[in-house]
Structure 1
Amino acid sequence: MRIHLLAIAALAFAAPAGAEVLEISWGRAAPAAEVASMHGLAVAEFGGTDGARLAAEIERRLAEARDARGRPYYELFALNASGAVGNVEAVIEGNASVNVEERRTQQRRRYCKDSDKPRTDCDNKDKNERQVTCRTRIVSLAGDMRIARESDGRVIYRRSVPKHEEATWCPGDAAPGSSEEAVDRLIAAAAGDYASDLRPHWQRGQIRVLESRKGLSDEQGEGFKAALRATKSSGEAACRIFEQLVLEAPAQRSLMFNTALCAEMRGDYGAALAGFRAMGGDAQAAAAAERVRATLEAIAAEEERG
């Protein structure tokens, strides 16, 4: 099965500069499969003191979601807009409230002995331990979201995502950022968790080929080295050499892996999966096979969705 993956910009694996790599596209289906099978969603008003902020961040992240071809994954509608009629398949609702707690705590810290001030800019041998009064701030977010199908009201997704951030600072320490900045981070983290459940994940990155020539003749080894050099300028040229060599040495580990990787590079995921699985219990091949299996699952989900 082939699919042409366009506009997938994220690089998930950064290989060392100059390494022998192939450019690969792969993906993973959205965990919330029933929601992800839909096209039109509406975000309702969220309850709670910070519900509006969470709803806005979730809506923004869903608007950024893309399918394998780089197209917007969802159509998002205002709940009561005229365009929503007949187009909204499910409604997103939720709540979010933030609590900020600050308290004084007693801690033992090491400071410079020759100063009454809380200095720490001296050698450790010139410090002693003192009990000091510090401040601790705990910012907590209680977030809950559910998605109900518009046709019958059935809840098809529900998740609570509690988040918290704790900071303690003592005399001589730099104070942390404001509590509002902490709230922004928690809202962003919660929205990221929700959006990750609802959208597919497509990536493009560099996967390193195997370089061992063990088991090859001298002549085959020279050809293999030529293929490695070719990866730096043309993955297709490198793959042509690997695929010629594997005909002569079909059980050689590097050639088996690299030719399967070549199939994955071209989007021939069925051949890639068969190639990696043919390597049996090889751990590196098993990890690659799982990546390809997940990609095939994501492709099938998008094809079924239409």
Structure 2
Amino acid sequence: MAFSKWVLSLVAACAVSSGAVRAEQLAVEGVYAARTDGGRGVTEISIEPIRGREGIALENALADQLGSARIYGEQYFRIVPSSFDNEGSQPGHAELRGFANSRVYDASDGEIERTRCLRKIKHEDGEKECVESVKAVYECRRLHVEFRPDVALFSDEGALYQRQDSFVNSERYCADSSYIPSAEAIIKPMISRFARAVRLDLAPKQRFDRIRILESRSGLERSDRRAFKNAIKLTKTDPVGACIAFEDILSRNPYQRSALYNAALCREADGQLELAAEAYGQLMLASDKDRFRNGMARVDSRFLAREQLASLSLPAVALASASPQDASIE
């Protein structure tokens, strides 16, 4: 199995952060599927005025998250003004509508007792001791914040996607401090979390991971043990060479778990998803370890991402559908 075309992408990855790469890891980069099919075929989104107390804040957060979705540098969604300002929708156009309500209330939350020293004395050994103190009781309150967003994506054909959620948080504060919590500060991360969830639901995500390889040489032919050890060392400086070595070792030890798993990682990193899936499938038949299931899940997600991208005409589609070695590095 040849990995020569993979050299550029891996060498670039090593050059960026060679100091952080450990010998027991391999770099895997890919485009992973959106969590739903709601955005399939959609290239342009207008965010309609969102009703409710937090509507404007949610509109801004959604525009930021959806507008910043990129695959290999190409913008995934074009964000356009609301339909009120548009003369007509384009192919691939959809509208995001919804509401974002919040509820804020402040309630009594008991008391807190504090002891304050009024006078201290200093002993010969330098230690200080409080000899006179006073206790004070302070009233406490709790600020409760609730945020309930609900958005839906519509095209000319009807509803494509909907997400609703409920966030609740509270903060206690007492009269012994001048600090008073802000409802706005509590709601802001809730809005960000919801907008981020919508982005991950609707658009694929390009991700770069460093995944730990297996290092056990148990079950290897004696002559391959040293070669396997050397391949592990190569992952730090020459991951392509390491992958060539893992495949070579696997050819003579087809059932050795570490060689099979490391080869699966190499195939996954090289974009050879069918071969990676075959290897992960063999591993899962022998063991239900999380790392094997996670590997198969990554591959399945990348297959689905290809399907989600297939209906688009973005330049990034060719890059995401091909192996990483075919993507130019800028």
Q: Does TM, normalized by the shorter one, top 0.5? A: yes
Quick one: distance in 2 between partners of 1:164 and 1:221? 56
- Partner in structure 1 of residue 309 of structure 2: 302
Matched to 1:265, the amino acid is: A
Contact 1:26–1:292 at 8 Å: present in 2 too?
Answer: no
Quick one: distance in 2 between partners of 1:173 and 1:215? 65
Residues 289/296 of structure 1: CA separation in 2 closer, same or farther (3 Å cut): same
Instruction: Give 1:45's match in structure 2, choosing from 38, 43, 49.
Output: 49
1:33 Cα deviation from its structure 2 partner:
0.7
Instruction: Give 1:194's match in structure 2, choosing from 180, 195, 198.
Output: 198
Residues 246/130 of structure 1: CA separation in 2 closer, same or farther (3 Å cut): farther
SS at match of 1:48: coil
Contact 2:49–2:56 at 8 Å: present in 1 too?
Answer: yes
SS at match of 2:237: coil
Quick one: distance in 1 between partners of 2:159 and 2:271? 36
State whether structure 2 residue 225 is matched by structure 1 residue 221: yes
- Partner in structure 2 of residue 73 of structure 1: 76
Matched to 2:294, the amino acid is: A
- Partner in structure 2 of residue 118 of structure 1: none
State whether structure 2 residue 64 is matched by structure 1 residue 57: no
Quick one: distance in 2 between partners of 1:160 and 1:273? 34
SS at match of 1:105: strand
1:36 Cα deviation from its structure 2 partner:
3.0
Matched to 1:137, the amino acid is: L
Residues 169/76 of structure 1: CA separation in 2 closer, same or farther (3 Å cut): same
Contact 1:134–1:171 at 8 Å: present in 2 too?
Answer: yes
Deviation readout 1:264-290 (Å, 9 max, x if unpaired): 111111110101111214223222112
Matched to 2:301, the amino acid is: A
Residues 234/95 of structure 1: CA separation in 2 closer, same or farther (3 Å cut): same
- Partner in structure 1 of residue 189 of structure 2: 185
Residues 286/187 of structure 1: CA separation in 2 closer, same or farther (3 Å cut): closer
SS at match of 2:211: strand
Quick one: distance in 1 between partners of 2:24 and 2:49? 51
Q: Which range is displaced more, 185-194 or 169-178?
A: 169-178
Quick one: distance in 1 between partners of 2:296 and 2:177? 49
Contact 1:263–1:272 at 8 Å: present in 2 too?
Answer: yes
Matched to 1:303, the amino acid is: A
Residues 202/18 of structure 1: CA separation in 2 closer, same or farther (3 Å cut): same
SS at match of 1:33: coil
Residues 174/252 of structure 1: CA separation in 2 closer, same or farther (3 Å cut): farther
Quick one: distance in 2 between partners of 1:258 and 1:88? 41
- Percent same amino acid at aligned positions? 22
State whether structure 2 residue 179 is matched by structure 1 residue 175: yes
1:186 Cα deviation from its structure 2 partner:
2.1
Quick one: distance in 1 between partners of 2:232 and 2:190? 45
1:248 Cα deviation from its structure 2 partner:
1.6
Residues 174/113 of structure 1: CA separation in 2 closer, same or farther (3 Å cut): closer
**What TM-score do the two structures reach when normalised by structure 1?**
0.82
Quick one: distance in 2 between partners of 1:203 and 1:83? 37
Matched to 1:299, the amino acid is: R
Q: Which range is displaced more, 221-230 or 288-297?
A: 288-297
- Partner in structure 2 of residue 119 of structure 1: none
- Partner in structure 2 of residue 145 of structure 1: 151
Quick one: distance in 2 between partners of 1:158 and 1:139? 23
1:225 Cα deviation from its structure 2 partner:
0.9
Aligned length: 283
SS at match of 1:94: strand
State whether structure 2 residue 253 is matched by structure 1 residue 246: no
SS at match of 1:297: helix
Contact 1:106–1:131 at 8 Å: present in 2 too?
Answer: no
- Structure 2: give runs of 5+ residues left out of the alignment: 1-5, 14-18, 119-127, 314-330
1:64 Cα deviation from its structure 2 partner:
0.6
State whether structure 2 residue 291 is matched by structure 1 residue 287: no
When the two chains are superposed, the root-mean-square deviation of aligned CA atoms in Å is 3.0
1:194 Cα deviation from its structure 2 partner:
2.0
Residues 185/218 of structure 1: CA separation in 2 closer, same or farther (3 Å cut): same
Quick one: distance in 2 between partners of 1:277 and 1:50? 47
1:233 Cα deviation from its structure 2 partner:
0.7
1:132 Cα deviation from its structure 2 partner:
4.7
SS at match of 2:64: helix
Contact 1:26–1:202 at 8 Å: present in 2 too?
Answer: yes
- Partner in structure 1 of residue 95 of structure 2: 91
- Structure 1: give runs of 5+ residues left out of the alignment: 10-14, 116-121
